[in-house]
């Protein structure tokens, strides 16, 4: 098996595509569903109004990167350390950096959400502590930050000791840190709150595994033909399951909110509310991602399995960028009123 690299590494292009897509998604989302500013009512200010969704999407992206880099060793396997270790020597410290960003953005989100809840008050640690003590979203973000910090410690151990720190432990901690995320924004319909929350948990986990796994493979393995021929078929199975989970749960949650909207009837609410437009935007992104994924799965994967050169990097970067747009739209969607 040959793992000779045939071109320059794609770390930065994949990361740039994901981050650019996410920020573009936030910008598009704020156009489709602009924040409501009521005349005569004290507003938290533009820094909070626009800084919070940017912080939240960076939180989601950093957590997704951690998940993807944690899954990577399972995709590569452990029976060829001479081939996989050069990749993992890059992946492990990258995961530590992403975990640190996750911690910082989660804590920053707490401060900004506390300021949003009490417009006109100072942005302070005291307000943030009070927000954590009294609001479930604050506790959810703190728990997520704590999981990210635990991962950071485990990640440093993995940098020093390699795969003697189990990949399963890193996956478990990173996934566990994602579980509180829906509590901090989604599932506002209380009639079916329990079902909606379970659905959102699955949605977040599926999206993180799908996006993070693809991003990690393309950033670190794309030009190592031998490893890619082994890892991509394994990831393809994860991607297929994730696609189904993300699509079903996304449709369930979005339609649930729109159908039960007491102000604007469905399907009119799809086209006349910011929430509906954001939902349509996410649906379009999901459709495009599915088409691109199918192209990679059915057209490129057979060639990759034969160690042939393909345009996998270009197609995958496009897919990751659209995934980023979907992440950005999702952040705005989680904060948008349904009516």
Q: What is the pLDDT of residues 31-40, one digit of tens each?
A: 998 876 544 4
Whole domain around residue 104: which residue ranges? 10-29+44-331
Q: For residue 38, tell me if it sits in a domain.
A: no
Tell how far CA 34 is from the center of its chain.
Answer: 22
Strand partners, 224: 5
Q: Tens of pLDDT along 214-266? A: 999 999 998 888 888 999 999 999 999 999 999 999 999 888 888 887 777 88
Q: For residue 34, tell me if it sits in a domain.
A: no
210 contacts 243 by C-beta, under 8 angstroms: yes
Is the pLDDT reported for residue 306 higher than 90?
no
DSSP assignment letter at 36: P
How far apart are alpha carbons 110 and 128 in whole angstroms?
6
Q: For residue 241, tell me if it sits in a domain.
A: yes
Cα torsion for 238, 334, 264, 325, to the nearest 10°?
A: -60
Q: Which of 165, 153, 22, 158 is nearest to 99 (CA)?
A: 153
Looking up tokens 């509180």 gives 180
CA atoms within 13 A on the CB side of 123: 15
32 contacts 274 by C-beta, under 8 angstroms: yes
317 contacts 323 by C-beta, under 8 angstroms: no
Backbone angles phi, psi at 174, to 5 degrees: -65, -40
SS3 content of the chain, % helix, strand, coil (to 5): 80, 0, 20
Backbone angles phi, psi at 123, to 5 degrees: -75, 110
Distances (CA, A) of 257 to 38, 192, 237, 245: 24, 10, 31, 18
- Pick the more confident residue, 307 or 301: 301
How far apart are alpha carbons 266 and 252 in whole angstroms?
14
Q: For residue 277, tell me if it sits in a domain.
A: yes
Terminal C-alpha separation, the chain = 57
3-state secondary structure of 23: helix
Confidence of residue 43 (pLDDT cuts 50, 70, 90): low
**Looking at the 3D structure of the chain, how many domains does it have?**
1
Q: For residue 39, tell me if it sits in a domain.
A: no
Backbone angles phi, psi at 310, to 5 degrees: -135, 175
Least confident span in 86-95, 278-287, 302-311: 302-311
Percent of the chain with pLDDT over 90: 53
Q: For residue 128, tell me if it sits in a domain.
A: yes
Is the pLDDT reported for residue 63 higher than 70?
yes
How far apart are alpha carbons 303 and 322 in whole angstroms?
24
Q: For residue 338, tell me if it sits in a domain.
A: no
Whole-number CA gyration radius for the chain: 20
94-106 average pLDDT score: 97
What pLDDT is stored for residue 154 in this prediction? 96
């Amino acid at each position: 098996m040959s793992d000779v690299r045939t071109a320059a590494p794609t770390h930065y292009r994949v990361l740039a595509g994901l981050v650019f897509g996410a920020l573009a998604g936030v910008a598009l989302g704020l156009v489709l569903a602009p924040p409501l500013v009521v005349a005569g009512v004290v507003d938290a200010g533009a820094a909070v109004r626009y800084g919070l969704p940017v912080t939240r999407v960076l939180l989601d992206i950093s957590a997704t990167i951690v998940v993807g880099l944690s899954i990577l060793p399972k995709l590569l396997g452990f029976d060829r350390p001479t081939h996989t270790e050069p990749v993992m020597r890059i992946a492990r410290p990258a995961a530590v950096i992403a975990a640190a960003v996750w911690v910082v953005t989660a804590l920053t989100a707490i401060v900004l959400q506390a300021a949003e809840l009490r417009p006109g008050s100072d942005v302070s640690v005291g307000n943030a502590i009070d927000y954590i003590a009294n609001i479930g979203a604050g506790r959810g973000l703190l728990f997520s930050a704590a999981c990210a910090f635990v991962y950071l410690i485990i990640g440093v151990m993995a940098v020093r000791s390699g795969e003697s720190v189990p990949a399963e432990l890193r996956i478990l901690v990173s996934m566990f840190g994602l579980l509180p995320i829906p509590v901090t924004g989604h599932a506002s319909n209380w009639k079916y709150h329990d079902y909606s929350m379970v659905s959102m948990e699955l949605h977040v986990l599926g999206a993180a595994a799908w996006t993070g796994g693809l991003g990690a493979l393309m950033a670190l393995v794309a030009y190592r033909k031998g490893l890619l021929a082994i890892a991509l078929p394994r990831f393809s199975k994860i991607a297929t399951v994730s696609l189904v989970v993300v699509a079903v749960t996304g449709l369930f949650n979005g339609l649930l909110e729109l159908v039960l909207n007491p102000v604007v009837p469905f399907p009119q609410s799809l086209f006349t509310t910011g929430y509906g437009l954001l939902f349509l935007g996410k649906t379009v992104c999901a459709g495009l991602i599915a088409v691109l994924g199918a192209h990679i799965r059915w057209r490129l994967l057979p060639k990759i399995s034969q160690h042939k050169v393909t345009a996998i990097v270009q197609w995958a970067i496009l897919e990751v960028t659209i995934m980023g747009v979907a992440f950005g739209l999702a952040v705005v969607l989680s904060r948008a009123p349904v009516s």
